[in-house]
């Protein structure tokens, strides 16, 4: 037995010798972390009391979502002990970071081995010369995510989480190996200059490094394998490596006949193996790299349309940010994979990695699943005019391209997003300054275009623009191959229907320019629902309306190469107010990736298999008001998304009839009754969907029927469901006798770009921001004509006027929400004639923008119901929410 093992080991040893494998291993576990600077050199730093963490890690996973404006942007230190075996001596040991935001200084045993600028590209350093072999080594990394005027992104609508938030690996090779330090790329570059139905020709280029003091004769060999691992093409080249030198190689024109093509429908991947062998009798393999190969050809035609493998293909996609609820941007690879899998499952064929290069796993996944990709660097909303800024942009783009070059999914490289947006918010710039900045921006775009075309001549280039004439006027749009328009008609400006007019006009003026709608979509909080959806109500219902309108328009424009929804998922944007503060909620799925019901619409539009989807999976606990006194029903419309011709809807087993599906949608009026309402939609072939809705019916007249509980989202036209308490706050109304509602005053609205009800500000001390953001101002009373009895009464308030005028350029309601001065608002609250709160000044007594709930026990007597009076001493009284519950 022992003898056998010995033979086996010898055999293995022999195999390893011949098939030298580079070691490529993550070293993510058990790092130490310290938030803040250290008072000593990296050499003397004592890490004993540092926190033990695993990578990926960010220090902003929590503070970017708390109620204190800002998040920690500064220095964090990481340390990791590495035991390096003696056997590695003489090999090359390379330390690779997939990303650290945003400046990293890396030390080995206390000595600086290198620095990297930029938070979204990988980097690495050769440790070989300085390692202690057969001993313990310490890697220390100082990471800094402070704002730096010379490093993009400068200012953008997403959170710049700091830390080593991607994988860190060690790569160990023989002393002769493919280049490791070429901008953390694979070290070899595979291109496909010719691909068509009949044949493909594949080129390989790269560099081999000889870290020995001896001259080496070597052979570089490239192999292309099909899915069954059969070698279908191969080529070799002899190279001579001088001692301690690098030598370029290029192996061109490997031929594949009748290639299996790569496409979103069938993402066929070949495999390429590139190896370097010693040119001796035993041909020992010194290093080997495996890279996938997808064969496809693509173009944008003179009409602007996109073609893949000889057929027109509309690019249908979504943008995606790389963060996740609770984790910030520190996502294990499986999260990235799951996101793109879901994107694919929604029927998309295209993604935009806005606004920065993403983790290597992302591009690998796109290759595997068949998602065409637009990837870009984070030059967002404006530039600095410094030489250093320009150089950092160029370095980022070079790293970005070299690191992603071998991915067949990647077809478009971008380098700027809404680069003139900053101007809109900088009114102090003189005309001369504006011109200078525009020229500098155009100049930088030209340099980035040139670099992109040099690094990746076969890829297309793009920049994304916002709705402004500055882009065409400045000529910047003539620089890239393709332009992306980020368009928010019906949200930030104008009407949804203006989209087509705008795009047609652009096409008429620039008929040969390929265009992609690179962003569109409204903010949506899945807790909010509206019977009459409007911009800025954040309801799921407005999300249906806007996406449906955009999809119809965009699918109808043949010259439009494609589009990408903003955004696949909600994401962190620390300075946003909105319904979910610190989060941009334009996602098709929530921040934790649970789905909003809009996902059903995309499935219906773009999946080939039959889809029948009731747009109510997210809204299964409802409260609503009876249609008329005593009717016992509350009618609500429910949409069914489908790609079938007709659907039938059943309520508790009874048919409500069939409807023709138009624009992938059929709308049914559902007469909900108190209790369980089972909805089932079915097409002609029996494909179905079902959802059970628990409905709480509020009687039309309170005085007759009485009420157990009624919660009103005062000043709002939307209903707000709080999943924590499971209370639905129904839309507000003016008082009518026998019912309930406010008297005097009006719901607060802001007229800014669009009319918005309420304010987009973070309300402190609550997660129920939408409940508090909307309010009636100037009311004199709120009444419930309930039968006699004892009730709990909750009153909800917040003072919208704030001394702090600081706000975010992405928020709609900037500055103060009202003309009144903070100290002006003072009022007394009386319940059924009795003063309960005397001369309250919300700001003075509780602070601005802070949620306040006051609870009372009240008696309704002598048929008088409950009447809450608001007597103003100065300014206007206000109320955000009111709830009664029978005791």
CB of 491 to ligand GCB, least distance (A): 8
Choose between 350 and 619: whose C-beta lies nearer to ligand GCB.
Answer: 350
Q: Is 47 in the site for ligand GCB (CB under 6 A)?
A: no
- Binder to ligand GCB among 358, 584, 599, 728 (CB under 6 A)? 584
Choose between 585 and 872: whose C-beta lies nearer to ligand GCB.
Answer: 585
Residue with tokens 């921006």: 441
Cα(83)–Cα(232) distance, integer angstroms: 42
Residue 532: burial class (beta carbons within 10 Å; 0-12, 13-18, 19+) = exposed
Residue nearest to ligand GCB as judged by C-beta position: 157
3-state SS record for 378-425: CCECCCCCCHHHHHHHHHHHHHHHHHHCCCCCEEEEEEEECCCHHHHC
The helix/strand/coil state of 443 is: helix
CB of 352 to ligand GCB, least distance (A): 10
Cα(262)–Cα(545) distance, integer angstroms: 35
CB of 501 to ligand GCB, least distance (A): 19
Choose between 58 and 584: whose C-beta lies nearer to ligand GCB.
Answer: 584
Tokens of 783: 């009444």
Q: Is 810 in the site for ligand GCB (CB under 6 A)?
A: yes
- Binder to ligand GCB among 105, 186, 209, 519 (CB under 6 A)? 519
Choose between 109 and 773: whose C-beta lies nearer to ligand GCB.
Answer: 773
Choose between 31 and 563: whose C-beta lies nearer to ligand GCB.
Answer: 563
Cα(465)–Cα(450) distance, integer angstroms: 19
CB of 575 to ligand GCB, least distance (A): 11
Choose between 174 and 376: whose C-beta lies nearer to ligand GCB.
Answer: 376
> Number of residues in contact with ligand GCB, rule: CB under 6 A?
12
CB of 364 to ligand GCB, least distance (A): 25
Q: Is 352 in the site for ligand GCB (CB under 6 A)?
A: no
* Interface characters, 469-508, with ligand GCB (x: CB under 6 A): -----------------x----------------------
Q: What is the dihedral of CA 488, 491, 496, 499, to 10 degrees?
A: -20
**Contact criterion met (CB below 8 Å) for 563 and 577:** no
Choose between 464 and 649: whose C-beta lies nearer to ligand GCB.
Answer: 464
- How many Cα atoms are found within 13 Å in the side-chain-facing hemisphere of 222? 27
> What residues contact 8, with CB distance under 8 A and at least 6 apart?
none
CB of 160 to ligand GCB, least distance (A): 12
3-state SS record for 566-601: CCCECEECCCCCCCCCCEECCCCECCCCCECCHHHH
Q: Is 418 in the site for ligand GCB (CB under 6 A)?
A: yes
CB of 448 to ligand GCB, least distance (A): 17
Percent helix, strand and coil across the chain, each to the nearest 5 = 20, 40, 40
Cα(54)–Cα(395) distance, integer angstroms: 29
The helix/strand/coil state of 439 is: helix
Choose between 477 and 584: whose C-beta lies nearer to ligand GCB.
Answer: 584
360-389 residues in contact with ligand GCB (CB under 6 A) are: none
CB of 466 to ligand GCB, least distance (A): 5
**Contact criterion met (CB below 8 Å) for 693 and 638:** no
Closest by alpha carbon to 548, among 592, 499, 509? 499
- Binder to ligand GCB among 120, 566, 619, 748 (CB under 6 A)? 566
CB of 481 to ligand GCB, least distance (A): 20
Choose between 519 and 540: whose C-beta lies nearer to ligand GCB.
Answer: 519
CB of 416 to ligand GCB, least distance (A): 11
CB of 576 to ligand GCB, least distance (A): 8
| Alpha helix stretches (DSSP H) within 196-348 | 333-345
Choose between 476 and 877: whose C-beta lies nearer to ligand GCB.
Answer: 476
Choose between 461 and 811: whose C-beta lies nearer to ligand GCB.
Answer: 811
Q: Is 417 in the site for ligand GCB (CB under 6 A)?
A: yes
CB of 467 to ligand GCB, least distance (A): 9
- Binder to ligand GCB among 157, 525, 785, 869 (CB under 6 A)? 157
- Binder to ligand GCB among 586, 603, 761, 867 (CB under 6 A)? 586
Choose between 247 and 567: whose C-beta lies nearer to ligand GCB.
Answer: 567
**Contact criterion met (CB below 8 Å) for 516 and 523:** no
Closest by alpha carbon to 853, among 711, 756, 708, 750? 711
Query: For residue 2, which phi and psi values (nearest 5 degrees)?
Result: -55, -40
Choose between 397 and 584: whose C-beta lies nearer to ligand GCB.
Answer: 584
- Binder to ligand GCB among 336, 342, 364, 466 (CB under 6 A)? 466
Q: Is 263 in the site for ligand GCB (CB under 6 A)?
A: no
Choose between 263 and 486: whose C-beta lies nearer to ligand GCB.
Answer: 486
Tokens of 785: 């004509």
3-state SS record for 670-723: EEECCEEEEEEEEECCCCEEEEEEEEEEECCCHHHHCCCEEEEECCCCEEEEEC
CB of 574 to ligand GCB, least distance (A): 12
* Interface characters, 209-228, with ligand GCB (x: CB under 6 A): --------------------
CB of 255 to ligand GCB, least distance (A): 43
CB of 324 to ligand GCB, least distance (A): 17
Other C-beta atoms lying within 10 Å of the C-beta of residue 314: 18
**Contact criterion met (CB below 8 Å) for 524 and 598:** yes
Q: What is the dihedral of CA 554, 558, 560, 565, to 10 degrees?
A: 30
Choose between 116 and 586: whose C-beta lies nearer to ligand GCB.
Answer: 586
Query: For residue 62, which phi and psi values (nearest 5 degrees)?
Result: -105, -50
The helix/strand/coil state of 24 is: strand
Which stretches of the chain bind ligand GCB, using CB under 6 A? Answer: 156-157, 355, 417-418, 466, 486, 519, 566, 584, 586, 810
């Amino acid at each position: 037995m022992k003898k056998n093992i010995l033979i086996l080991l010898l055999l293995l040893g022999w195999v390893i010798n011949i098939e030298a494998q580079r070691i490529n291993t993550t070293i993510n576990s058990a790092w130490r972390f310290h938030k803040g600077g250290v008072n000593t050199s990296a050499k003397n730093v004592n890490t004993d009391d540092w926190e033990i963490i695993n990578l990926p890690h960010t220090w902003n996973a929590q503070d970017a979502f708390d109620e204190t404006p800002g998040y920690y942007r500064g220095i964090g230190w990481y340390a990791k002990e590495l035991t390096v075996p003696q056997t590695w001596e003489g090999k090359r040991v390379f330390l690779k970071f997939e990303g650290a935001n945003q400046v990293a200084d890396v030390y080995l045993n206390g000595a600086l081995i290198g620095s990297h600028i930029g938070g979204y590209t990988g980097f690495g350093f050769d440790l070989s010369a300085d390692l202690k072999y057969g001993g313990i080594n310490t890697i220390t990394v100082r990471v800094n995510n402070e704002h730096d005027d010379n490093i993009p992104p400068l200012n953008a609508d997403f959170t710049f989480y700091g830390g080593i938030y991607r994988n860190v690996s060690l790569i160990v090779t023989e002393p002769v190996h493919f280049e490791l330090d070429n901008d953390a790329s694979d070290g070899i570059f595979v291109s496909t200059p010719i691909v068509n139905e009949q044949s493909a020709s594949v080129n390989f280029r790269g560099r081999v490094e000889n870290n020995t003091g001896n001259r080496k004769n070597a052979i570089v060999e490239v192999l292309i394998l099909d899915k069954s691992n059969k070698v279908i093409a191969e080529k070799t080249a002899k190279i001579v490596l001088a001692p301690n030198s690098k030598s370029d190689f290029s192996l061109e024109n490997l031929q594949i006949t009748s290639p299996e093509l790569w496409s979103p429908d069938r993402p066929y991947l070949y495999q390429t193996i590139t190896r370097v062998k010693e040119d001796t009798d035993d041909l020992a393999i010194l290093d080997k790299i495996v890279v996938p190969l997808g064969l496809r050809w693509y173009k944008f035609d003179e009409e602007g349309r996109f073609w893949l493998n000889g057929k027109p293909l509309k690019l249908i996609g979504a943008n995606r940010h790389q963060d996740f609820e609770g984790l910030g941007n520190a996502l294990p690879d499986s999260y990235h994979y799951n996101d793109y899998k879901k994107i694919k499952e929604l029927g998309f064929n295209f993604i935009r990695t806005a606004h920065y290069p993403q983790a290597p796993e992302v591009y690998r996944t796109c290759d595997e699943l068949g998602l065409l990709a637009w990837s870009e660097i984070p030059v967002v909303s404006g530039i600095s005019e410094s030489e250093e800024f320009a150089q950092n942009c160029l370095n980022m783009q070079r790293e970005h391209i070299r690191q992603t070059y071998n991915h067949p999914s990647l077809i478009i490289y971008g380098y700027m997003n809404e680069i003139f947006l900053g101007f809109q918010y900088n009114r102090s710039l003189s005309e001369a300054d504006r011109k200078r900045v525009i020229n500098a921006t155009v100049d930088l775009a030209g340099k980035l275009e040139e670099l992109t075309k040099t690094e990746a001549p076969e890829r297309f280039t793009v920049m994304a623009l916002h709705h402004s004439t500055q882009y065409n006027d400045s000529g910047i749009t003539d620089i890239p191959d393709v332009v992306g328009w980020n368009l928010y008609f019906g949200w930030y400006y104008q009407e949804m229907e203006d989209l087509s007019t705008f795009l047609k006009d652009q096409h008429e003026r620039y008929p040969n320019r390929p265009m992609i709608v690179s962003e569109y979509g409204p903010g949506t909080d899945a807790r909010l629902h509206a019977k009459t959806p409007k911009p800025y109500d954040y309801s799921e219902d407005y999300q249906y309306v806007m996406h449906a309108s955009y999809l119809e328009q965009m699918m109808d424009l043949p010259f439009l190469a494609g589009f990408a929804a903003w955004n696949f998922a909600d994401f962190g944007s620390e300075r946003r107010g909105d319904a979910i503060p610190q989060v941009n909620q334009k996602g098709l799925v929530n921040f934790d990736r649970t789905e909003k019901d809009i996902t059903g619409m995309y499935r219906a539009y773009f999946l080939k298999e039959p889809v029948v989807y009731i747009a109510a999976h997210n809204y299964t606990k409802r409260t609503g008001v009876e249609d008329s006194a005593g009717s016992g029903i509350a009618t609500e419309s429910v949409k069914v998304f489908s790609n079938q011709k007709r659907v039938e809807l059943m309520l508790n087993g009874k048919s409500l009839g069939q409807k023709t599906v138009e624009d992938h949608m059929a709308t049914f009026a559902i007469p909900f009754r108190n209790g369980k309402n089972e909805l089932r939609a079915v097409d002609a072939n029996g494909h179905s969907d079902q959802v059970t809705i628990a409905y709480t019916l509020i009687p039309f007249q309170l005085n007759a029927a009485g009420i157990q509980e009624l919660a009103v989202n005062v000043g709002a036209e939307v209903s707000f469901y709080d999943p924590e308490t499971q209370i639905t706050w129904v839309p507000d109304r003016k008082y009518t006798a026998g019912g309930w509602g406010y008297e005097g005053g009006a719901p607060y609205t802001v007229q800014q770009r669009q009319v918005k009800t309420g304010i987009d500000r973070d309300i402190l001390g609550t997660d129920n921001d939408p409940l508090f953001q909307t309010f009636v101002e100037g009311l004199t009373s709120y009444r419930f004509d309930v039968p006699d009895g004892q009730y709990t009464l909750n009153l909800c308030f917040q003072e919208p006027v704030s001394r702090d005028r600081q706000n975010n350029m992405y928020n709609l309601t900037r500055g103060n929400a009202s003309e009144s001065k903070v100290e002006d608002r003072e009022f007394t609250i009386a319940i059924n004639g009795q003063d309960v709160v005397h001369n309250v000044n919300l700001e003075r007594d509780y602070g601005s923008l802070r949620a306040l709930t006051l609870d009372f026990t009240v008696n309704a007597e002598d048929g008088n119901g409950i009447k809450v009076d608001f007597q103003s001493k100065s300014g206007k009284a206000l109320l955000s929410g009111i709830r009664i519950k029978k005791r």
